[in-house]
Each structure stands twice: as C-alpha cells, then as structure tokens.
Structure 1
Amino acid sequence: MKRFHVHISVPALDEAVHFYSGLFAAEPTVHKPDYAKWMLDDPRVNFAISQRGAAPGLNHLGVQVESDAELHEMRQRLDGMAAGYVAEPGTACCYARSDKYWTNDPVGIAWEMDHTLGTIPMFNDAADDHACCVPSSGNTAAMATTTPTTPAANACCDKTATGKASSGCC
C-alpha cells in the first residue's frame, strides 16, 4: 500500500514539532535535532519536516511504497508519462537507506517515489552535513534524458553553478 509523502522545510524545528504533534495528535516517529517525521495512518501520510538550511516552505512531495514491485510500478508510470526522472538506488537520506526515483511536476515541484530499505544513524552519507537529497529543481530537461540505469548529473547532492551543494533536503 502506498503512502503520500510531504516534506516541509522549517525555520524552527521545535516550534514546528510542537505544532504538528498537536495537529496530528501524535508525537513524531523519528525525531532528530534537525528532522522529524510522522508516519500517520489517518490520514495515511509520511509527513516530514527539517531544519537544514533550505528556504522555509514546501520542500517536496512524494509517494512512499512498501515493496520493490510497487516502486517498479511507479517507475513504469513515469515511463508511461514520458516524464524524465532521476534514479537513486540505495541512497542515504533523511536517516534512511532507500531506492528512489525523482521527477518534477509541470510547475517544478520535486516528487519523490521511494521504497525505504532501512534506517541509518545519520541524515545522509555525504561529507557535507547540509547536503541535499532533492535533485536541483527546474532541471526537468536534464531529468528527461535520464534512464533508470544512468543517474543524471543533477542528482542528489549536486553542486550548483557556484560549486556549493544545493540547499534542499529530504
């Protein structure tokens, strides 16, 4: 069964955790100094927030699946839409190891399709603690040329034109 995923970047994590815990009548299932996640069943959603330097607001949307078969189905949907995407097998992000596909919708909002394989003790495997997880937004053209076996140059933790890591994160 699939689960809708929403990730919001926040300027003050403790304040946001307090607000969303009250709104959902539940404490986060994952709570780190820079990240929190609620795995809710009513509504069925993976709702995450982080304080990692990205601009406050919507970071990305997604569909979390429970099996390789469901992730394959999501990739087939992207293929059927002729939507470009970035494949990230075995990536480390948001305190989890996952297989993922990323695409952008027509207005540039990043969408993540992922199958979580397990947890990890740190936000990601990158040396830069603020490294991103979301491919650079607005690079739909680069995604359009990406195949599942050829990750795009703008994939997770890509450097911007200034040489700095992109600011988005899972």
Structure 2
Amino acid sequence: MTTTDILNRFHVHMHVADLDANIAFYTQLFGVPPAVLKPDYAKWLLEDPRVNFAISTGKAGESGIAHLGLQAGDAQALSAVGARLQAADSIALAESGTTCCYARSDKFWAEDPQGVRWEAFHTHGEATSYYAPGAEVPTDTCCGPAAPEITDSAAKPRVRSGNACSPASGCC
C-alpha cells in the first residue's frame, strides 16, 4: 500500500465544560457512541464524514476548540505532512513515541497564521492513561508546546521523544 492509498482523517479536539452532556449530544449528532470513552475524554472515529472528533474536560473554565489536526494513516503519511509543515516553517514541536489522549503517537505541532493550533500525528498504540505514565499533571495541562513556543516561528522546533504531556517534559 502506498501513501496515497492510506486514508488520513481530519481531527478536531474540543474542551468541554460538561463531558456527559456533550457525549449525549455528539452521540445523537453522529448516530454512534464514542469509540473511546474515559472519565475525562471521549473520541469518535467517524467514517462519514471521515473525522477523529475528541472532547475532554481540559482546563477548568476553558471550553471550545483545543486544536485541529490531521491523523496520518501511517508513519510515511505523517512524514509527508511533516515535510509540508517544515516547508511552511511552521513546526513548533516534534514528538516521537509520546503518550497523550490515551494513545501512543508520533506528532508534529504547528500553528497557522491566525494562531489556530494544529496537530499532525500517527497513532501506533493505545495507552491506559491520558498522559505519560506517572506524570504529575497540573490543572492547566494542554498537549503540545506552550503558546509562546508556537508563535515564535523563527525559533528552532523542539524535538521530544516519549513522556509527552508531563511537567518534566515541558509539554504541560
């Protein structure tokens, strides 16, 4: 199978104030229950439209779109998206073998000219926790680089391997 044969998926992640009410709403809207359901997170992997739609409790008092993204069908497709982001001088953070959102993934984080955060990723396994195992997670967590890091396009992107979304890794 070539990269052009791999079906990639559009990704939307929203922070919500009331997880249960939003799970009920989106289950009705999409006509199917979440594919992944955790106490602080839910994800629908829809085929029509082909989208990875996730919601989480996020930071207290924060709701709305957390980030948009492209879920690559394989590592080669992720490399192609990463090359396009690099050509746009937009990569703020590259992650390898990271644990976030109950999954193990490789990722590129970027920001568009309006300040919208984008995550390009290839998931290669499930995880039993939202963040890296053993990570002490503060209440203002967010996967990806901190805002000042993203907005400085002249800065060299950070590269991190494993242990994402933990204070020690600088993700949160």
Bin of the TM-score, shorter chain as denominator length? 0.7 to 0.9
TM-score normalised by structure 2 residue count: 0.82
* 2:137 match: 128
TM-superposition CA deviations, 1:61-111 (whole Å, max 9, x none): 000011110010011101222223310111100000100000011111110
Structure 1 residues 49-88: aligned runs within 5 Å: 49-53=55-59, 55-88=62-95
* 1:106 match: 113
How far residue 50 of structure 1 moved from its aligned partner, in angstroms, is 0.3
- Please list every run of at least 4 consecutive aligned residues from structure 1 whose deviation after the TM superposition is greater than 4 angstroms: 156-159
Range 39-48 or range 52-61, more displaced? 52-61
Structure 1 residues 29-48: aligned runs within 5 Å: 29-48=35-54
Range 82-91 or range 138-147, more displaced? 138-147
How far residue 157 of structure 1 moved from its aligned partner, in angstroms, is 4.3
Q: Which runs of 5+ in 1 are unaligned?
A: 160-164
Distance in 1 separating the partners of 2:8 and 2:80: 11
TM-superposition CA deviations, 1:125-159 (whole Å, max 9, x none): 12216432132235334454234xx428xxx6486
C-alpha root-mean-square deviation of aligned residues, in Å? 2.2
2:55 partner SS: strand
> Is the Cα contact below 8 Å between 1:30 and 1:38 reproduced in 2?
yes
Matched, 1:15 2:21: yes
> Is the Cα contact below 8 Å between 1:103 and 1:112 reproduced in 2?
yes
TM-superposition CA deviations, 1:36-68 (whole Å, max 9, x none): 000000000000000132510010000001111
1:85 partner SS: strand
Identity of aligned residues (%): 43
Structure 1 residues 141-156: aligned runs within 5 Å: 141-147=151-157, 150-151=158-159
2:70 partner SS: strand
Q: Which runs of 5+ in 2 are unaligned?
A: 1-6
Paired amino acid for 2:15:
S
Alignment partner for residue 26 of structure 1, among 23, 27, 32? 32
> Is the Cα contact below 8 Å between 1:84 and 1:141 reproduced in 2?
no
> Aligned residue pairs: how many?
157
TM-score normalised by structure 1 residue count: 0.83
